[in-house]
Homo-oligomer: A and B are copies of this chain.
């Protein structure tokens, strides 16, 4: 694959603006609300032209999404996916497994935990892919994308109040659902972009055994 050009090597309409011509800086910050899940702030910011504006946003601890791959006898890959009712959008959604970071947990540890809790699978190899900012207009959330393979099934350990179904989808089915509108979950659409390009051999993954990601413990 050819080397990436930096974004500022694109074909620009006019000259490329410097960061400081776009950046907003915090003048003050006020907590709007602290709920069980949502923690929201309203900040007054200084705009690039010196004026001020309000910015409201939700603070989030971060999350991970896992693209778990199974291979059949013919060497074909399929992905482990979930169906889950999402109250905010009022629909059963088709998604890749995902979950929020616990305090003190690394992103890989979170990926291992969420995969096991939600699907029952443990993976022998992992690859860190990329990251998604799902809602840059009003959330700090970032979702780390991990691929997992070498899957061995065990027991699920769903959180209390968590109801979801695990199934497998072929890449062609998944892409078909992304086009037809059966899949509209943003993180899963982004995961489909990764899966499509990884399986085509265009985007390379750096697969590693679990030991590489495990924290060094004091004996």
Give residues in A with beta carbon < 8 Å to B: 1-2, 4-7, 10-14, 16-17, 19, 21-24, 32-33, 35-38, 40, 42-43, 45, 47-49, 51, 53-58, 78, 81, 83-89, 92-95, 130-143, 161, 163-170, 172-173, 175-182, 184-187, 189-190, 192-193, 196-197, 203
**Nearest-CB residue, chain B, relative to A130:** B181
Partner of A142 from B11, B89, B170 at Cβ < 8 Å = B89
User: Contact at A161–B19, with CB atoms within 8 Å?
Assistant: no
Pick from B21, B56, B133: contact of A163, CB under 8 Å: B21
A136, A138, A176: most-surrounded residue (chain B CB, <10 A) = A136
Alpha-carbon separation in the docked complex, A164 to B179 (Å): 30
- A88 touching B35 by the CB < 8 A rule? no
Interface pair B131/A181, CB less than 8 Å apart: yes
Look across to chain B and name the residue whose beta carbon is closest to the beta carbon of A37: B56
Q: Which of B6, B51, B85, B175 contacts A161 (CB 8 A)?
A: B51
Q: Identify the closest chain B residue to A15 (Cβ).
A: B165
CB distance from A205 to the nearest CB of B (A): 10
| Distance in angstroms between the alpha carbons of A189 and B131 in the assembled complex | 10
